[in-house]
Amino acid sequence: MSCSPSGNPSRRKVLSLGAAALFVQKLAAPAVAREAPIQFGLTPVFLTSDLELLGRLQSYLERSTGYAVELVNRRTYQEVTALLTSGQIDGAWICGYPFVSHQAELQLVAVPLWHSKPLYQSYVIVDANRGVTDIMSLRGDIHAFSDPDSNSGFLVTRAALVEHGQRPESFFSKTMFTYGHRNVIRAVASGLAQSGSVDGYVYEVVSQLEPELTKRTAIVTASGWHGFPPIAAPKNAPSTERLARLKRALLDMHLSEDGRAILEMLELDGFASENPSLFDSIAKNAALVAAAG
């Protein structure tokens, strides 16, 4: 999840402030009669830390589903995945890597559409003045990853190194996890890291909102296309009714003015039903890395 695509930098807040604002919104929201709320998890794959967007998303889901909605924010993919697989939340926006890793325990609810497709890429970035053109030129770097359970922010680069007979811990002089794709961009732009692995969707949106940040970096490689970070739910959902309403609210988001406003802030086109085979390329990379040990 990093910076708001709302186009107004003054409104961007840190996500850690969201709990207080959402609590206030819950007090003002109409109560739903004595029914358990929909609990929807958000991870660092969620692009924005904008409180306005979080409030709009919560309000939209409540109006569309007829249930109270709690947005459950966690810092890492692992934390949210654990909530999903244990059935403690109804659904979450996660990453394709934990989805394929726990596919026996999860079901696919919906996939965001970016440029009208449910696909995205991983970028490896460096300082803009460095002038390298391939990943093997990065040997000995301090390299920034996003999260150990991130596809674009870890798995793709790790798999690329495996194909060259390399491992991150020996190929790079040092690696770090920033727990946020925007933080990867910041690390490289500031010189804290010499290279980094980042979600291409996040990078492209940040390049529009904060060009002064991304112009200090350059893309060395762009991966093939992978299934966009999906909305997933426990295989045995806590409530099939709540899940069905959540899914319909996501799939219909583009049909209402409020929903379109949220999509515009996220720079997405909508959500679609997709087959889990969309994530086969991620599963292939996961298997390649597992086989390498």
**CB of 194 closer than 8 Å to CB of 127:** yes
138 plus 167 within the same structural domain:
yes
Q: Which residue has the tokens 């997709």?
A: 274
94 plus 236 within the same structural domain:
yes
pLDDT at position 269 is 98
CA 12/CA 119 separation, integer angstroms? 26
Q: Is residue 162 part of a domain?
A: yes
What is the mean pLDDT of the segment spanning 242-257? 97
- From first CA to last CA, the distance across the chain in angstroms is 29
Q: Is residue 3 part of a domain?
A: no
Share of the chain above pLDDT 90, in %: 81
Q: Is residue 4 part of a domain?
A: no
104 plus 18 within the same structural domain:
yes
pLDDT at position 30 is 45
Q: Can you read off the two tokens belonging to residue 150?
A: 């991130």
pLDDT at position 11 is 38
**Angle at CA 139, nearest 5°, toward 135 and 145?**
70
What is the mean pLDDT of the segment spanning 149-165? 97
> For the ranges 11-20, 36-45, 86-95, which has the lowest average pLDDT?
11-20
85-100 pLDDT tens trace: 999 999 999 999 999 9
Identify the band that residue 47 occupies on the pLDDT scale cut at 50, 70 and 90: low
Between β-strands 69-73 and 38-42, what pairing exists: parallel, antiparallel or unpaired? parallel
- 137 contact partners, CB below 8 Å, separation of at least 6: 220
Identify the band that residue 16 occupies on the pLDDT scale cut at 50, 70 and 90: very low
| CATH classification at residue 138 | 3.40.190.10
Identify the band that residue 293 occupies on the pLDDT scale cut at 50, 70 and 90: confident
pLDDT at 22 over 60: no
52 plus 24 within the same structural domain:
yes
What is the mean pLDDT of the segment spanning 169-181? 96
CA 284/CA 161 separation, integer angstroms? 14
25 plus 50 within the same structural domain:
yes
Report the half-sphere exposure of 5 (CA within 13 A, side-chain side). Answer: 19
107 plus 239 within the same structural domain:
yes
A 10 A CB-CB count for 263 gives 18
A 10 A CB-CB count for 160 gives 20
32 plus 177 within the same structural domain:
no
Q: Which of 186, 207, 223 is the last residue of a domain?
A: 223
Domain count for the chain: 2
Q: Is residue 1 part of a domain?
A: no
219 plus 231 within the same structural domain:
no
pLDDT at 82 over 60: yes
Strand partners for 235? none
DSSP-derived secondary structure letter, 131: -
pLDDT at 171 over 70: yes
In this prediction the pTM is: 0.86
Question: Between residues 202 and 43, which one has the greater pLDDT?
Answer: 202
Q: Is residue 152 part of a domain?
A: yes
38 plus 53 within the same structural domain:
yes
Mean pLDDT rounded to a whole number for the chain: 89
269 plus 212 within the same structural domain:
no
Q: Is residue 56 part of a domain?
A: yes
114 plus 149 within the same structural domain:
no
Q: Can you read off the two tokens belonging to residue 269?
A: 């086109």
187 class by beta-carbon count within 10 Å (0-12 exposed, 13-18 middle, 19+ buried): buried
Q: Which residue has the tokens 């696909």?
A: 119
- 213 contact partners, CB below 8 Å, separation of at least 6: 185, 186, 189, 206
Q: Which amino acid is at 174?
A: K
pLDDT at position 38 is 97
pLDDT at position 52 is 83
CA 210/CA 215 separation, integer angstroms? 9
pLDDT at position 50 is 72
Q: Which of 223, 243, 269 is the last residue of a domain?
A: 223
Q: Which of 223, 252, 276 is the last residue of a domain?
A: 223
234 plus 111 within the same structural domain:
yes
Q: Is residue 2 part of a domain?
A: no
pLDDT at 174 over 60: yes
Share of the chain above pLDDT 70, in %: 86
CA 248/CA 137 separation, integer angstroms? 47
Q: Is residue 167 part of a domain?
A: yes
Identify the band that residue 124 occupies on the pLDDT scale cut at 50, 70 and 90: very high
Domain range for 94 is 9-118+227-289
